[in-house]
Structure 1
Amino acid sequence: MGILQPLRRLSDSVNQVAIVICVGCVLTMLGISFTAFIYKLVTGSTLSWTYSLARLFLPWIGFLSMTISLRYGEHVAMTLLVRSLPRVMVYVAAGLCLAVIGLFALMLTWYGWNYFSTATQVYLVSAQISIPSKFTAIVVPISGVMMLLHLVHGFALLEHFIDEQDAIGELIDTTDGERRS
């Protein structure tokens, strides 16, 4: 158990960085779109590169959001079905679920690295702006590694192991603690 705690802290730190990157990508996309809007209002013509440049951030948002939702147990789960099973079967189902998530993460990492390393295309956003496809391809293996790292949390990743009353109590305690500060 000595190695699990540092790995869990690393997982949480990586998750916080992913959240910041996702917010940055969304804000960048909004900034690009807002720039295009203002330019259209002022000049009456459009900037051809804004849509192409803004959509390059979508893979980053999508893949990193997937890892963030996994960390918080917000992925697709059949909680009602699982909770109706006997307790032993809940653990079997949870183990299978974690194994499938792990296999998916390994495949993302393995095939994603191959995808990244062979990506040679260049996105021509405009005559002056060209972006290598490696910019968007690298997020695939990164998200696979992040998902593998999040697996150190084990059953805590699965929604059907969360006691609603404890979660509500935790939220109330957190909110009360913030008011007192």
Structure 2
Amino acid sequence: MSPLAPLRRFSDGVNQVAIVLCVVCILAMLGISFTAFVYKLATGSTLTWTYSLARLFLPWIGFLSMTISLRYGEHVAMTLLVRSLPRVLLQVAAGLCLAVIALFAALLVWYGWGYFLNATQVYMVSDQIQIHSKFTAIVVPLSGVIILLHLVQGFALLEHFIDDETMIDELIETTDLEERS
């Protein structure tokens, strides 16, 4: 068993939590927007705070979905070019790609933490609803930490290292194990 196996399982668990948070944010946005729509139909007037409140979930959806797509190898890649390289150069290119991803994640953490600490504004959604800007600012360094955590997956994050047959076999094996439980 690999010494990174517990970290990889933790990375998968964090990814599942990120998926749930994204779904919750999307449902909250839809719920708020639907409430505004129904209120407009019922009364003829609008609730001024609904769109401002719904918009506060967008950074969470954007940054967390970025970490989710990275975990599944769905980020921007030059797969055709990279797959045409010899195996040695492919590994070098993959290593460089992971290094760039790590640098990006470290910058998200570094500058995002400063952004979070300096976030002092309060969003006045309405007279009664006031949301501190730290609510949206914390997602920047948090997503950087999640990306750094996902790097324990290694080359599995990169699309050109994912073998379609192996992935299908793993999915079938996972389904078989779940059915036996």
TM-score by length of 1: 0.94
CA drift of 1:112 comes to: 0.2
Q: Secondary structure at the match of 1:96?
A: helix
Residue of structure 2 in register with 1:138 after alignment: 138
Cα offsets for 1:35-89 (capped at 9, x unmatched):
0011011101000000000000000000000000011111001111000001000
The Cα of 1:6 is off from its aligned counterpart by 1.2
The alpha carbon displacement at 1:127 in A equals 1.4
What do residues 97-119 of structure 1 show as CA deviations (whole Å, max 9, x unaligned)?
A: 00000000000000000000010
| Structure 1 runs, 4 residues or longer, greater than 6 Å off | 176-181
1:58-73 aligned within 5 A: 58-73=58-73
Q: Any idea what SS the aligned residue of 1:128 has?
A: coil
C-alpha distance in structure 1 between counterparts of 2:114 and 2:180, whole Å: 51
* Structure 1 gap segments, 5+ residues each: none
Cross-structure match for 2:35: 35
1:7 is aligned to 7
Query: For 1:47-86, what aligned pairs fall within 5 Å after superposition?
Result: 47-86=47-86
What residue is the counterpart of 1:96 in the other structure?
96
Describe how 1:117-136 pairs up with structure 2 within 5 A.
117-136=117-136
Hey, what's the Cα distance between the residues in 2 that align with 1:159 and 1:166?
A: 13
Q: Hey, what's the Cα distance between the residues in 2 that align with 1:39 and 1:94? A: 52
AA of the residue aligned to 1:145: V
Report the Cα offset of residue 128 of structure 1: 1.4
Whole-angstrom CA distance in 2 between matches of 1:178 and 1:43:
50
* Aligned-partner SS, 2:47: coil
5+ residue gaps, structure 2:
none
- Render the CA deviation track for 1:118-147: whole Å, top value 9, x for unaligned: 100111111111110000000000000000
Residues 171-180 or 4-13, more deviating: 171-180
- Report the AA paired with residue 96 of structure 1: L
Q: What does residue 159 of structure 1 align with?
A: 159
